[in-house]
Amino acid sequence: MLMNPSKVIFLSTLIFSSIFAISASSWWTAWMGLEINLLSFIPLISNSKNPIVTEASIKYFLIQSIASSTLLFFVIMNFNTLFFPSTHMKFILLTLFLKMGAAPLHFWFPEVNDKLDWENSFILLTWQKLAPSILATYCAYLGALIYIFFLSSIMIGAIGGMNQTSLRKILAFSSINHLGWMIMALSIENSLWIFYFITYSIINFMIIFTMKSNNFYFLNQLYSENKDIMTNINLAMSFLSLGGLPPLLGFLPKWLIIQSLINLNMTFILIPAVMLTILTLYFYLRIMFSIFTLSSMETKWKLNPAKSQSPQLPFLLITLNISGLALSSLFILFTNL
């Protein structure tokens, strides 16, 4: 991607458009930022030589256009103001959740992500959620609506990823599950959402970097005997961290949200959320056990030869996963003193 000058320009526009949207003083300028973001991401994921990728870009464009049109309709009704009536705010929130791919408005997200390459998949899973999430904080906290999207995203993300063999679809349903926790973090405190988003992005980068380096796209490719033991351990630790298993790094943001919900006496919504999260941990554990116990001497097909990587890199990623929880906990402890 970085070797293509046009891709670099569109990537720069993608980044600055998101910053433009979240720093907007009105919904009109926020809508403009979201539209520039959309028009920057479409050329990044389009590929005239691959009809499957073209199909994904068309689906993404149509869904985002529907959400943007709905948002523009309410912007025109409430021109040049950041605060809408409560009824309008509900529809604004729905359009933002549709842009993020939160359940039950998730129907497009796994299919689109499954057809992208790993670089664009990482952008869709992380950066493309930034602007809509922050804009959602401008809406009034509509309790019932937040709880519906919180529980439905966790449930769909947990159940949908159980029977998948595509690694990109697994990460897509995992993203829907984590998006539910992010939505709840937004309703509690913005700094909590920022910490969750950064931690989730780091763990996703660990996984996607390893997948990209080895050209892994499906589960059966993880069973190849060509991988070294450090790559196996790195993948296992990263997936378990993504599932929120203590004492790995991914457990800390969920731990903070669980503690916040307990302090707010919201155990009625916390208990089903934790039980559904255990389902996601199940298919992460299934992947981990399969990596170590299953092996195949058959040559797995690959689109391109795997790129060589430094043997120290998997060790550094493993160390970050294991020690991240302790280091982050100490940081939070000292900052609260």
Helix axes 167-188, 143-160, angle to 10 degrees: 160
Enter the pTM of the model: 0.88
| Calculated CA dihedral for residues 209, 172, 176, 63, nearest 10 degrees | 120
| Calculated CA dihedral for residues 19, 25, 26, 28, nearest 10 degrees | -50
One pLDDT digit (tens) per residue for the chain, 337 residues: 556 788 888 999 999 999 999 998 888 889 999 999 999 999 999 876 778 888 899 999 999 999 999 988 887 876 555 556 666 778 888 899 999 999 889 999 999 999 999 999 999 999 999 999 998 887 765 667 888 899 999 999 999 888 888 999 999 999 999 999 999 998 888 889 998 999 999 999 989 988 888 888 988 888 765 567 777 888 888 888 888 888 788 888 898 899 899 998 888 888 999 888 888 888 888 888 777 776 555 544 554 444 545 555 665 666 666 666 666 666 565 555 4
CA–CA dist 208, 216 (Å, integer): 9
CA–CA dist 149, 103 (Å, integer): 6
Strand partners, 218: 166
